[in-house]
Amino acid sequence: MAFSSTGFNAVGGQSKAGNAPAIYTYSSTDAQSVIRASGYFNSIASLLKVGDIIFCYSATGGTPVMSTAYVNSNTGTVVDITDGVTVTATDTD
């Protein structure tokens, strides 16, 4: 599939006046390997800057996966995010 803006949301006040990274969430049925591929976020290249953080949630085949990635590069037309760190969860109850 492709990026869908309906799954992309800003977290908190997203002032771009300072040097702090913006934080976003993204939810999709696409696999994490698809989401982290270079070019996936190209349609919002003007919004993202290097260092911005994206919490990526995907549920492919009913299996949820959560990762934290950041924008590694942005040429203005091509966005590449890091592979991210998968957040693992244990539920023993």
Write down the pLDDT at residue 12: 81
- Among 13-17, 74-78, 82-86, where is mean pLDDT lowest? 13-17
Write down the pLDDT at residue 15: 60
Model pTM score: 0.88
Helix %, strand %, coil % of the chain (to 5): 10, 40, 50
pLDDT in tens, 11-63: 986 666 567 889 999 999 999 999 999 999 999 999 999 999 999 999 877 78
Q: Is residue 89 scored above 90 in pLDDT?
A: no
Does residue 60 fall inside a structural domain? Answer: yes
Beta strands in the chain (DSSP E): 8-10, 23-28, 53-60, 63-74, 79-81, 85-87
Does residue 20 fall inside a structural domain? Answer: no
Q: Which domain holds residue 63?
A: 5-12+32-87
| Tally of domains within the chain | 1
Does residue 17 fall inside a structural domain? Answer: no
Cβ pair 40, 71 in contact under 8 A: no
